[in-house]
A and B are shown apart, each in its own frame.
Chain A
Amino acid sequence: MPDIRISKENFPGAIKQLMDRYRVFAPVKKGRFHEFALLQNVEQADLGFSNTLLSPKGLFHPQAERMFEYSLAREDPNAGILKEAQKDFSPRVILGIRPCDAKAFELDDANFNTESIKDPWWVQRRETTTMIGLACESPCSTCFCTSMGTGPFDTAGLDVLLVNIGEGYAARALTEKGTKVLEITSGCSSPAGDHLPLAERQQAAEQRIGTAFDPAAIAKKEMLELYNSPAWEEVQFACLNCGACTFVCPTCWCFDIQDEVCADKGDRLRLWDSCMFPLFTLHGSGHNPRSNKIQRVRQRFMHKLKYYQDKYNSGPACVGCGRCVQACPVNIDIRQVGQKMASPDCSCSI
């Protein structure tokens, strides 16, 4: 499908047309920050944002997800037997997602959607969601997506790419799902014509992004050599083991499974957990293989930047969105840590 153009004036109308057919999630301003929320009305959508504080991973992997429900009532013949909780998998659109976050979900797919085991909630949500991405015109100083194998105009994981061209948006359909949503909004759009300055805009955006470290250099290193590096001692000192980095990160997926009971009914939930928390690996026997902070700090960076690369023969489990850099209360910077892992002798600063 050829590129189309939607003017500023027509854009709200296009969103309305989407809302008539899908549940539409878009960035919505909340206090100082933005977050992806279900639109109740068109005016809520605010695409003039850099990125959301929390990644949109909550749209596929909610912080608390009711998996099953059960009765514990004594007289109930089905007491103690778990039943799947009802979910809404009706089609939805995520409007305005940044390319880094869309790429992150592709990286997450390797975990949730494997040959032998499929996570039904993740997989069904992915299947019924159309991702309309918004290219980044003004990457932040904490972005380093281009070093992580993606970029401000990357199309990985997207169904449509929108580019802000001043007087409106240019839209490019990338998949069948994408073609479908652009057809739905065809009343508000017009053909783009030939010369859309997309390549120039992409180059300008990419040039604004500083280089971080080279994940390929980390992939080449021996796992145990990296693991035993004396550099971790210095990296781990400031860390509070708080979990802020893992919660804002779009490629952190670790979760806990808990049962919660009220009177004679209960739920089995899954909730975000963090390898940063000291009790994450605590055995029932009392043994904790990662009882020290240094072990936990090392695990996070090794998993994202080394183990994931080795396990899936791919790039790192990091898209350079920079959220952890902004969220860390003690300014532990993954760009610096990655640099130390890639070339331990290099002492250059960012």
Chain B
Amino acid sequence: MDNPYLPYPVRIDSVITETEDRNLKTFTLVFINAEDERKFEYIAGQFGMLSIAGLGEIPIGIASSPTEKGFVKFTVNKVGKVTTYLHNMEAGEIMGVRGPMGNSYPWDLLRGSNVVIIGGGFAFTTLRSSIVYMIDPKNRSKFGNIDVVYGARSPGLLLYKDELAEWEKRSDINMHITVDGTNDPNWKYNVGFVPTVTKQKAPSAENAYAIICGPPIMIKFTLPVLTELGFPPERIISSLEMRMKCGIGICGRCNIGTEYVCKDGPVFTLEQLAGLPAEY
């Protein structure tokens, strides 16, 4: 019987420090057994359980896109026991990955629609996965306009800076990169909080879905902007963070109402969230 608690062994291929405060690192992992990569086939928006023997596991959104083959990427914030150890690991070391887990963004609904992506801080990881997926030549024609508002406190705290700059140059995606504030005279992009910039750029709600991921305060102030722009609750999509252990809907820890955030979520529309207790 397949054991869903057993991690696939992976080797760390590279570790990149993303932010200037060194709290966020992107780990590129390669499956030791080729067959495991096939078993791990995932969809943008899902997450995986990173496992370190002797320490434990952490649920982290998958940052790479399913269109990127041969590896899988996770961007991890250093907050506790496991993440601190992980941050000190180097290329060549062995760890484990379980998954893919969660329900992913609703790609069958998004097909044929315009997509507005709003991200803040280090919640941008599964959004990277989504963007890379959408702008892949095989997929781009399936979607309408793609607008992205992504902000961090300062330029040094943005993730995937090189890729952001590349995407900004493309004509098939509208990037609105912003920071809360900066003294950098060479800063080329926007300055302002994410909700403010979203309001300024006013992406159209017509035939559009909004995917929003970020710290609670950003979400709190951006939701009214989206509502004002005409996005109804069933077309505003968010990915919840929750304390998780098994990641497969069995241990009960991430239970909200009738849902398990790890299995029935973590992606929910605002309409769905309105019907659940606000315990997240």
Real binding pair: yes
Contacts of B58 in A (CB 8 A): 284
Does A124 contact B251, Cβ atoms closer than 8 Å? no
Residues of B within 8 A of A81 (CB): 9, 53, 94, 96
Any B CB within 8 A of the CB of A329: no
B243 & A80 in contact (Cβ 8 Å cutoff) = no
The reply to whether B280 and A289 contact each other, CB–CB distance below 8 Å, is yes
B243-A70 in contact (CB<8A):
no
A280, B276: Cα distance in complex, Å: 19
Nearest A residue (CB) for B246: A257
Looking at the complex, which of B108-116, B162-170, B221-229, B252-260 is the stretch in contact with chain A?
B252-260
Asked if A256 and B94 sit within 8 Å, CB to CB, the answer is no
Query: Which residue in A112, A123, A223, A283 is a CB contact (below 8 Å) of B243?
Result: A283
| A117-B263, A256-B251, A266-B54 known; A79-B243 Cβ under 8 A | no
Query: Contacts A280-B253, A289-B279, A289-B280: A84 and B6 contacting too (C-beta < 8 A)?
Result: yes
Select from chain B the residue with minimum beta-carbon distance to A255. B251
B residues whose Cβ falls under 8 Å from a Cβ of A: 1-7, 9, 51-58, 79-80, 83, 93-96, 216, 241-243, 245-246, 248-253, 255, 257-259, 263, 275-277, 279-280
Judge whether A257 and B94 touch: CB under 8 Å: no
Q: CB-CB < 8 A to A258: which residues of B?
A: 56
Cβ B94 vs Cβ A254 within 8 A: no
A224 interface residue (CB < 8 Å to B):
yes
Residues of A within 8 Å of B6, CB to CB, are: 68, 82, 84
Question: Out of A80, A119, A270, which one reaches B95, CB within 8 Å?
Answer: A80
Contact of B263 with A259 in the complex, beta carbons under 8 Å: no
Query: In the complex the two chains form, is A257's CB within 8 Å of B54's CB?
Result: no
Q: Report the separation of the CA atoms of residues A255 and B4 in the bound assembly, to the nearest whole angstrom.
A: 15
Q: Nearest chain B CB to A270's CB is how many angstroms away?
A: 8
Contact of B5 with A118 in the complex, beta carbons under 8 Å: no
Interface residues of A: mostly helix, strand, loop or mixed?
mixed
Residues on A facing B (Cβ under 8 Å): 67-68, 70, 72, 79-82, 84, 111-112, 114, 117-120, 123-124, 223-224, 227, 253-259, 261, 266, 268, 270, 273, 275, 280-285, 287, 289-290, 295, 299, 302-303, 307, 310-311
9 contacts between A and B (CB under 8 A): A68-B5, A72-B54, A79-B53, A80-B96, A120-B2, A123-B1, A253-B250, A259-B56, A281-B242
Contact present for B2 and A256 (CB under 8 Å) = no
Assembled-state Cα–Cα distance A227/B253 (Å): 18
The answer to whether B257 touches A259, judged by C-beta atoms less than 8 angstroms apart, is: no
Residues of B with C-beta under 8 A to A285: 79
- Of the candidates A72, A120, A281, A287, which one forms a contact with B53 in the assembled complex, judged by CB atoms under 8 Å apart? A72
Q: For residue B83, which residue of chain A has the nearest CB?
A: A284
CB pair B51–A82 under 8 Å, yes or no, is yes
Q: Which of B58, B95, B245, B250 has the most CB of A within 10 A?
A: B250
Known: A120-B3, A124-B1, A303-B255. A257 touches B245 (CB 8 A): yes
| Closest chain A residue, CB of each to CB of B278 | A289
C-alpha gap A118/B246 in the complex (Å): 12
Given A80-B53, A266-B54, A307-B257, decide whether A224 and B249 contact each other with a Cβ distance below 8 A.
Answer: no
